[in-house]
Amino acid sequence: MATYIERLNSAILAKRAPVVVGLDPRKEQLPPGLMDSAKSGHSYYSDPTATAYERFCFQIIDIVAPLVPAVKPQAAFFEELGPSGSLVLASVIRRAREAGLIVICDAKRGDIGSTAEAYARGYLAGSDRNAAPWSADSLTVNPYLGPDTLQPFVDVAVKREAGLYVLVRTSNPGAAGFQDLIADGQTHYRHVAAAVEQLAQETRGEQTYGAVGAVVGATYPQELAELRAAMPHTHFLIPGYGSQGGTAQDIAAAFDADGLGAIVNSSRGIIFAYNNAKYKDQFAPEQWESAVEAATRDMIADLAEHTPAGALGG
């Protein structure tokens, strides 16, 4: 089999796009008709919203699978629905993997070591899709509990050829509140970055990038450039492009000269593009799928034009 980074890089090179489409279904923003048809027709799930989320995500997967290497389901929107949402999350992950997509599950897990191991076993399937019930290729991880709590995730990830993305510098407006606090003359996020880079080095084998990556927000271009220099073996998952204001120019520094080293997420900007001012005039709400495709293609072209991702496959 192949490691997470080998599978991810070959998918990025095949699609010539370092783009991950976020699957963040929100009931109030679903395209017209989806909720009504889920309520009226036969459904496997007791909650019609769960049925609507599954259909919506399956349709998005079908549209984006030929265009991008990866999807990132946001566990929160599925968990919000309770047990049926958790079943849909598993089913969406499975469907995405069957479509050939790399799946980054954004669940931001973290706990004391022995509990962290259970999270890792539940989410990290890696190269063997049947190895975990939520059979993701990689998982986002919260490092707040300390370095010892990252190790169980790393051990499971290495064993199963899976990946991790540890929160280092997040995209939200209040990121600096805790992450920029100084200890021993350095910001908290730089301490986390040093630990993550160490784990990336330990797990990279012959590859440039290790199994342990970092979440770095597109909304803080200066910190992103600084972290890229400090973390040469760490793959970056970059949220904050599009809806949160991050631009392609803001994230150009994240890529290496081959256009690798980072993958950029957009969730609302793609899946709810039909509702976005840029696409509203071109597509009626019933044409929401065409809006998804147009927004995905536009993001790919934007990154190709304004970042070293233009070098992919070239």
DSSP string, 13-51: HHHT--EEEEE---GGGSPTTHHHHHHHS--SSSSHHHH
- Match 């047990």 to its residue by tokens: 83
- Which region, judged by CB under 6 A, interacts with ligand LLZGTKA7, from 63-71, 81-89, 93-101, 234-242? 234-242
x/- map, 89-128, ligand LLZGTKA7, by CB under 6 A: -----------------x----------------------
Residues labelled catalytic? 108
> Which whole-number Å values give the CA distances from 231 to 30, 111, 181, 208, 223, in the listed order?
39, 24, 20, 11, 12
d(CA 12, CA 309) in angstroms, rounded, equals: 10
Distance CA 67, CA 164 (A): 23
Cβ-based nearer residue to ligand LLZGTKA7, 174 or 314: 174
Provide the greatest CA pair distance for the chain: 61
Which of residues 27, 129, 268, 297 is near ligand LLZGTKA7 by CB under 6 A?
268
Tell whether residue 302 is a contact of ligand LLZGTKA7 (CB under 6 A).
no
Dihedral angle, C-alpha 188, 190, 193, 194, nearest 10 °: -110
Say whether residue 240 binds ligand LLZGTKA7 (CB under 6 A): yes
18 binds ligand LLZGTKA7 (CB under 6 A): no
26 contributes a contact to ligand LLZGTKA7 by CB under 6 A = no
Query: Contact with ligand LLZGTKA7 (CB under 6 A): which of 20, 24, 38, 125?
Result: 24
Closest C-alpha to 55, from 23, 101, 81: 23
**Judged by CB under 6 A, does residue 71 bind ligand LLZGTKA7?**
no
Q: Which residues bind ligand LLZGTKA7 (CB under 6 A)?
A: 22, 24, 74, 106, 170-172, 215, 217, 239-240, 242-244, 265-269
